Amino acid sequence: MRVEVAEARQVARHALINAGTPPELADIQVAALIEAELRGVASHGLLRLPRLVERIRNGVTDPAARGSGRWRSPAVWEVDGGGGLGPVVACEAISHVSERARETGIALAAIRHAGHLGAIGWYAERIASAGQIAVVVTTSEALVHPWGGRRALIGTNPVAIGVPAEPHPFVLDMATGVVSMGKVHDYANRGKALEPGWALDADGTPTTDARRAREGAITPFGGAKGYGLALGFELLVAGLTGSALGTDVTGTLDSTKPSTKGDVIMVIQPDDGMVAPISAYLDEIRRCPPIDEGTAVAVPGDRGRMRKAGALVEGIELPDEIWAALRGLAADEFQES
Amino acid sequence: MRVEVAEARQVARHALINAGTPPELADIQVAALIEAELRGVASHGLLRLPRLVERIRNGVTDPAARGSGRWRSPAVWEVDGGGGLGPVVACEAISHVSERARETGIALAAIRHAGHLGAIGWYAERIASAGQIAVVVTTSEALVHPWGGRRALIGTNPVAIGVPAEPHPFVLDMATGVVSMGKVHDYANRGKALEPGWALDADGTPTTDARRAREGAITPFGGAKGYGLALGFELLVAGLTGSALGTDVTGTLDSTKPSTKGDVIMVIQPDDGMVAPISAYLDEIRRCPPIDEGTAVAVPGDRGRMRKAGALVEGIELPDEIWAALRGLAADEFQES
C-alpha cells in the first residue's frame, strides 16, 4: 500500500495523541519513524508504532516524559529518561550537549530509561548537518551470540557516526549483527531461507531456517572483530549510563517491561577547516573505479538520502495490515486505565 | 630465535639511544614495541625498530620531541607531535586528558604529526587499568579499498576500546581491514596463498596471490559495514586533528616522509558502580557454551594477556635477521648528519 508522507504523518500523530502523547512530543516520535520509512529502513519505521502505543497503554512508556538531566560533570549530561519516548528524550539531550560541546569541545549525553531511539543515523545526521561531529551508540535486547558461542548474550548495539561535509554530511548507521532480527522475522513470515552464517537456532547450531533462528541468536557481523565491537559498545554504554547488560536488557521489543538499555550520544566540535578536504575526499571515494561496472561505490548515507528524495515524491510503501492498524489507532479514543 | 625479554629491551633501548633518542623517551617507545611482542602482535613489535631508526637518521622523526599541546577547548587537548615518536607523544597527551577527564567527565587528545603509535590496545589498557574508559582511533596509509571499489583509498584505521573490569580490564584492539598488510607481506615471503576475500591486486581484481596483493588493496573486514567504519574513523580523526586523508597519508610505513596521519584518544570517567556488573557479565560471556567444544569463548584482550604471561617466562620469538639488525643498531655509534 503506497501512502503519501503527509497522510502517514497525520495518522501516526493522531495514533500517539490518542494514546495520551502531547502533540509536540508526538511530532518528534513521528518524525523519527517517518524518516526511517523514507530511507527504506522499514524495520525502524511505522511498524514500531502499535507497539509504542501498547507500551503507553501498559504504563511502561510515559508519553509526556522528556527525561530529567543534570551535568554529572561539565561535559557529561546524565539523563534519566523517565520511561519517555526515545526520540523525545534523545532530542532534548542533544540540545544540551550540542550547546555544551561548542564550549568544551566535546560533550556526551549518557541516557538510561528512555524508549527505543529508532534509526540512530537520524540523530547523527541532525548533529552533523548543524556542523558538529556525532558518535551515537546504543544497546538493545541480547540477540547476538559471542563469536564461537551458542547463546544470544549481546545486543545488536548499533553505532552511528556523523561528520560535516558538503553537499551533505557523512552519516554511517550500522548495527553490529550481520542481519537484523526484523529481517529474520520477515524471512520467517515469507518462508524464505536465511543465508548461511547469519544465525543460530535455540540450541546454538547454525541454521538457515528463519523460524528456528527467531528463537536463537544472530551472528555478529565480520566474525571475531564484529563481536569485539558489539561487546565493546555494550560495555561502553553500560559503563557510562549504568544501563543493564546482556540478557537483563528489556523494553524495546516487548510491550510490558521498562526500558533498561542505555544510549550514549557524543557531540564533538570539529576543525572547521576540514569540511572542504573531507568533502573532496568523499568525492574521491565515490569516483573510485567500481568492481562491478554497473554499481558505483557508495558513501554511507548516500543511498538512504536518494531513497528519501524519491519517497518524498512517491510516498512510502506500507504493508496493508500496518496501515490498517495505524488508522485504527488514529481513530480510537484513548481510554485512561 | 628466542630472546629473553630483558635482553630484547636492553638491545632495543640502545638502538634508539644510539640514534639520538633521550633514554627516558627510548624507554617508552621500547615498552610499546615489547608489549606488542609479548602479546603476539609481531607486526607491531621489534621489526618496526630498524625503520624507526632510519626515520630518525633521515630527519623525519625527531627522537627528542614530546609534542606541544594546548587546550583548544576545555576538554580537547590539541597536539602537534613535532615528528616525535608515537608512543612518547601519545603517553604525554594521555597524562593531560586523563587528568582533565576526572573533572570534565570526558576529554580527548587530537594528535597530528606524531609517529606510529604501535598497537593501540596498549594505551586503552593503561587508561582502563587506571579506572577510566578509553576509546582510541588512529589512521594509517591508504591500504584498504572501499566496499565495491578497486583502489586502496582508506587507512587500516584501528580502534581500541578499554573498559575497567576485574580481574583485568576489557581491551579491544582491532584494525578495520580483514587482514593486515604485515600479514600479506609475511605470506608473500613464505610463498603462501591468501584466503579468498582478503585482497585485490593492483588492477583491483580479487587475488589470493600475496605478492600481487602487496601492490593492491586489502579488503575491509565485515563487508560494507567494516568499510563504513573504516571510512567513519578516517573522517572522525581528520575532522578532529586536521590530519591528511586517504592517499595523502604518509610516514608510518616509509622512512623518508613526515607523518601526516592523526590519532584521537578519548578518556571518559565511568560510572564507578559498574565495574562489578561489567566483570560479572564478562564472566557470563566466557562461560557461554562454545560452538566448538574445545574452544572456550574469548573476551577481547584475554588471549593476548595469556600470551604475555607465557612470554614473560619463556622469552619472545624473533626472526634471526631482525635480532641481528637490532644488535647491529645497538652496537653502532650514531653519526649526526
| Full pLDDT tens readout for chain A, 337 residues | 899 999 999 999 999 999 999 999 999 999 999 999 999 998 899 999 999 999 999 999 999 999 999 999 999 999 999 999 999 999 999 999 999 999 999 999 999 999 999 999 999 999 999 999 999 999 999 999 999 999 999 999 999 999 999 999 999 999 999 999 888 988 998 899 999 999 999 999 999 999 999 999 999 999 999 999 999 999 999 999 999 999 999 999 899 999 999 999 999 999 889 999 999 999 999 999 999 999 999 999 999 999 999 999 999 999 999 999 999 999 976 444 3
Contact A153, A142 (CB under 8 A): yes
The verdict on B268 touching A (C-beta cutoff 8 Å) is yes
Long-range contacts of A1-7 (CB under 8 A, 24+ apart): A1/A317, A1/A318, A1/A319, A1/A320, A1/A323, A2/A314, A2/A315, A2/A316, A2/A317, A2/A318, A3/A315, A3/A316, A3/A317, A3/A318, A3/A323, A4/A315, A5/A34, A5/A38, A5/A311, A5/A312, A5/A315, A5/A316
First to last CA, chain B: 33
Cβ atoms within 10 Å of B147's Cβ, excluding its own: 21
Contact (CB<8Å) A285/B163: no
**Could you write out the DSSP letters of every residue in A18-83?**
HTT--HHHHHHHHHHHHHHHHTT-GGGTGGGHHHHHHHHHTTSS-TT---EEEEEETTEEEEEEEE
> With contacts defined as CB-CB under 8 Å, which chain A residues touch B109?
none
Tell me the per-residue pLDDT of B292-332, one tens digit each, with 9 for 90 and over: 999 999 999 999 999 999 999 999 999 999 999 999 999 97
Among B207, B210, B231, which residue's Cα sits nearest to residue B220? B231
Position A336 scores a pLDDT of 44
The verdict on B148 touching A (C-beta cutoff 8 Å) is yes
Position B99 scores a pLDDT of 98
Give the count of Cβ contacts less than 8 A between chain A and B.
246
| Residue B237: closest C-alpha in chain A | A270
Contact (CB<8Å) A235/B161: yes
Query: CA of A173 to nearest chain B CA: how many angstroms apart?
Result: 9
Position B333 scores a pLDDT of 61
Position A333 scores a pLDDT of 61
Query: CA of A301 to nearest chain B CA: how many angstroms apart?
Result: 10
The DSSP element (H or E) to which B13 belongs, if any, is helix B5-18
Position B66 scores a pLDDT of 98
The verdict on B197 touching A (C-beta cutoff 8 Å) is no
Residues 82-121 of chain B with CB under 8 A from chain A are: 103-108, 110
Contact (CB<8Å) B74/A74: yes
Contact (CB<8Å) A74/B76: no
Query: CA of A100 to nearest chain B CA: how many angstroms apart?
Result: 11
All structural domains of chain B: 1-57+313-337 (1.10.1530.10), 65-177+220-275 (3.30.1370.60)
Contact (CB<8Å) B163/A284: no
Contact (CB<8Å) B225/A223: no
Contact (CB<8Å) A148/B292: yes
**pTM score, two decimals?**
0.97
Q: Which of A104, A107, A239 sits opposite B271 (nearest CB)?
A: A239
Contact (CB<8Å) A163/B135: no
Grid-cell match 561535509, residue found: A165
Contact (CB<8Å) B231/A285: yes
Contact (CB<8Å) B228/A107: no
**B2 φ/ψ angles, rounded to the nearest 5 degrees:** -95, 130
Name B8's Cβ contacts closer than 8 Å, sequence gap at least 6.
B34, B37, B46, B315, B316, B318, B326
The verdict on A28 touching B (C-beta cutoff 8 Å) is no
Q: Which of A154, A240, A296 sits opposite B270 (nearest CB)?
A: A240
Positions of chain B with pLDDT lower than 50, given as ranges: 334-337
